[in-house]
Amino acid sequence: MASLTFKHIYKIYPGNVTAVNDFNLEIKDKEFIVLVGPSGCGKSTTLRMVAGLEEISKGELYIGDKLVNDVPPKDRDIAMVFQNYALYPHMTVYDNMAFGLKLRKVPKAEIDRKVKEAARILGIEKLLDRKPKALSGGQRQRVALGRAIVREPKVFLMDEPLSNLDAKLRVQTRTEIIKLHKRLQTTFIYVTHDQTEAMTMGDRIVVMKDGVIQQAATPQEVYEKP
């Protein structure tokens, strides 16, 4: 659980591409933020700066009251889920979910408890022995979520996690992610270019265009004053 504060954040890529331009935002602890906007508007870059995967060119980013600009990804208490799942193909579901904890030398019994608990939350207990190739797209996405959950991050980042799913599964998984947020009581930042997802999922929608925040408001406010 953590609040986030973005103070005049810029990302300028080599070649003088300003991908994020004076981004200012306060995200409350446990808030579900949806970052929405057309392709290329700077959503992924913003998320990647929060994860520490991309350097911040200018400005200050706080997680809680800690300035994290120079904090490496592994020390940020953050988990990120991508659209392409990024599962290890040769490992079982169980081992995919356990891997990050093993690296951190978490005791086996604790890993076991966390993996099984996450599997139960996501309804994938029966899939723990399978390899990713024996799973559907929706099941794979759940494993990717599971791998993030077991780390008990303070902030949960999702970059278009539903975009590889078919329409029906997308709606179903959307509902599950909303439930997951309620259950985990964690700060979520969810990136999408899908207006419907934006309007139905978040506590607050942050609309970006050309690296600039156009609007930051509740779905209700956006609906009334688009």
Reduced to 3 states (helix: H, G, I; strand: E, B; else coil), residue 91 is: coil
Interface pick for ligand ADP out of 22, 112, 152, 176 (rule CB under 6 A): 112
- What is the x/- site pattern for ligand ADP, positions 70-109, by CB under 6 A? ----------------------x-x-------------x-
Distance separating alpha carbons of residues 111 and 121, to the nearest angstrom: 15
Stretch that binds ligand ADP, among 26-34, 39-47, 58-66, 144-152 (CB under 6 A): 39-47
Distance separating alpha carbons of residues 93 and 131, to the nearest angstrom: 6
Rg of the chain in Å (alpha carbons) = 17
Looking at the Cβ atoms of 37 and 161, the one nearer to ligand ADP is: 37
Contact between 40 and ligand ADP by CB under 6 A: the answer reads yes
Contact between 223 and ligand ADP by CB under 6 A: the answer reads no
Stretch that binds ligand ADP, among 43-51, 136-144, 146-154, 197-205 (CB under 6 A): 43-51
Residues 6+ apart with CB under 8 A from 154: 1, 2, 63, 64, 77, 78, 186, 187
Structural contact between residues 119 and 128, judged by C-beta atoms closer than 8 angstroms: yes
CA nearest to 138, candidates 182, 100, 176, 112:
176
Contact between 114 and ligand ADP by CB under 6 A: the answer reads no
Interface pick for ligand ADP out of 2, 9, 41, 122 (rule CB under 6 A): 41
Binding site for ligand ADP (CB under 6 A): 13, 17, 19, 37, 39-45, 92, 94, 108, 112, 128-129
